[in-house]
């Protein structure tokens, strides 16, 4: 690998591991009765304590350090005094910015005991991300990524959100290319060694359509069906990829 790629991988590895470790901490506190603001506070402090910044804070006017998306919220839920209840599902999305580079990751958390249909949605969404990661290597088409995700989740009767996508990431939070979570094999750009991007499928039990609430951020399913999401930041190599945002637990 050339030295530019080596440097970008090294820096993203550090930012990514801070982001992943923040979510490992979230896992320890999520339970019925806590507020989404308390998750935000933990992420803010953990990321700062590790010499990094929370990239979402003030990004395009976003008011908090992470996104907390509960039940039918698809993404970009804004932490608040909202109290989590038994049976809720929540996605927490964090991005650490350290030494000029970003690491972006999100996971689902279960609040107490959750319904089996929510468990199945979460499981299938996670599998779709990991299946996409498994096919990554130099010269894979972008369309192959979307196709793997779409085929896996549609086999369960779920739908892929189309209004939000994965993205290149590096010195900028969001950059080229756009990573669609649906598509056709063999179409689109071929990925190259050294590319760093996120894959972050949002999967709904019902229809794929979303709308944005009046706060200008919170995206929800139009039909109010449950939605789940997982996100990793990955770097492409000749033989495969490196996942920069793996959990340590």
What is the distance between the alpha carbons of residues 169 and 178, in angstroms, rounded to a whole number? 10
Minimum distance, C-beta of residue 65 to ligand MF3, in the bound complex (Å): 9
Minimum distance, C-beta of residue 93 to ligand MF3, in the bound complex (Å): 4
DSSP category for residue 60? G
Q: Does 201 bind ligand MF3 (CB under 6 A)?
A: no
Q: Give the residue, chosen from 25, 59, 178, 242, that forms a contact with ligand MF3 under the rule CB under 6 A.
A: 59
Minimum distance, C-beta of residue 76 to ligand MF3, in the bound complex (Å): 4
The one segment of 1-9, 28-36, 56-64, 152-160 that binds ligand MF3 by CB under 6 A = 56-64
Q: Does 93 bind ligand MF3 (CB under 6 A)?
A: yes
Report whether 31 contacts 55 (CB < 8 A).
no
Q: Give the residue, chosen from 11, 72, 76, 98, that forms a contact with ligand MF3 under the rule CB under 6 A.
A: 76
Q: How many residues bind ligand MF3 (CB under 6 A)?
A: 12
Give the one entry of Co ion, ligand MF3, none that residue 126 binds, where binding means its C-beta sits below a cut-off of 5 to 8 angstroms depending on kind.
none
Minimum distance, C-beta of residue 241 to ligand MF3, in the bound complex (Å): 18
Minimum distance, C-beta of residue 115 to ligand MF3, in the bound complex (Å): 26
Containing 142, the helix (H) or strand (E) segment is helix 142-154
Q: Does 144 bind ligand MF3 (CB under 6 A)?
A: no
**In the complex with ligand MF3, which residue's Cβ is closer, 19 or 122?**
19
Q: Give the residue, chosen from 56, 103, 146, 188, that forms a contact with ligand MF3 under the rule CB under 6 A.
A: 56
Q: Does 200 bind ligand MF3 (CB under 6 A)?
A: yes
What is the distance between the alpha carbons of residues 195 and 123, in angstroms, rounded to a whole number? 28
Q: Does 231 bind ligand MF3 (CB under 6 A)?
A: yes
C-alpha distances out from residue 7 to 99, 171, 191, Å: 11, 12, 19
Backbone angles phi, psi at 72, to 5 degrees: -90, 5
What are the helix and strand counts (H, E) for the chain? 4, 15
Q: Give the residue, chosen from 40, 88, 104, 144, that forms a contact with ligand MF3 under the rule CB under 6 A.
A: 104
Q: Which two tokens stand for residue 12?
A: 């993203």
Place of tokens 């395009």: 60
What is the distance between the alpha carbons of residues 141 and 135, in angstroms, rounded to a whole number? 10
C-alpha distances out from residue 25 to 72, 83, 125, 247, Å: 24, 18, 22, 10
Q: Give the residue, chosen from 26, 39, 42, 67, that forms a contact with ligand MF3 under the rule CB under 6 A.
A: 67
Q: How far apart are the first and last CA of the chain?
A: 30
Minimum distance, C-beta of residue 198 to ligand MF3, in the bound complex (Å): 6
- Smallest CA-to-CA distance from 78 within 198, 220, 204 is with 220
Name the site residues for ligand MF3 (rule: CB under 6 A): 56, 59-60, 62, 67, 76, 93, 95, 104, 198, 200, 231
């Amino acid at each position: 690998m050339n030295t530019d790629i080596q440097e970008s991988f090294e820096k993203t590895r550090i930012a990514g591991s801070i982001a992943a470790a923040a979510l490992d901490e979230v896992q320890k506190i999520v339970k019925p009765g806590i507020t989404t603001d308390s998750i935000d506070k933990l992420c803010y402090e953990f990321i700062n304590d590790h010499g990094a910044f929370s990239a979402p804070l003030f990004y395009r006017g976003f008011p908090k350090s992470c996104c907390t998306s509960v039940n039918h919220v698809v993404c970009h839920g804004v932490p608040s005094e909202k109290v989590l209840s038994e049976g809720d599902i929540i996605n927490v999305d964090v991005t650490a910015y350290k030494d000029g580079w970003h690491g972006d990751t999100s996971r689902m958390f279960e609040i107490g005991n959750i319904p089996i249909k929510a468990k199945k949605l979460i499981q299938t969404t996670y599998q779709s991300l990991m299946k996409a990661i498994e096919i990554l290597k130099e010269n894979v088409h972008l369309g192959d990524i979307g196709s793997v995700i779409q085929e896996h989740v549609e086999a369960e009767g779920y739908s892929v959100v189309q209004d939000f996508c994965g993205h290149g990431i590096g010195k900028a939070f969001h950059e080229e290319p756009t990573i669609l979570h649906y598509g056709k094999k063999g179409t689109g750009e071929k990925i190259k060694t050294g590319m760093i991007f996120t894959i972050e499928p949002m999967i709904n039990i019902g229809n794929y359509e979303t709308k944005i609430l009046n706060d200008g951020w919170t995206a929800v399913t139009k039909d109010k069906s449950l939605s789940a999401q997982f996100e990793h930041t990955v770097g492409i190599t000749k033989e495969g990829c490196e996942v920069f945002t793996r959990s340590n637990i």
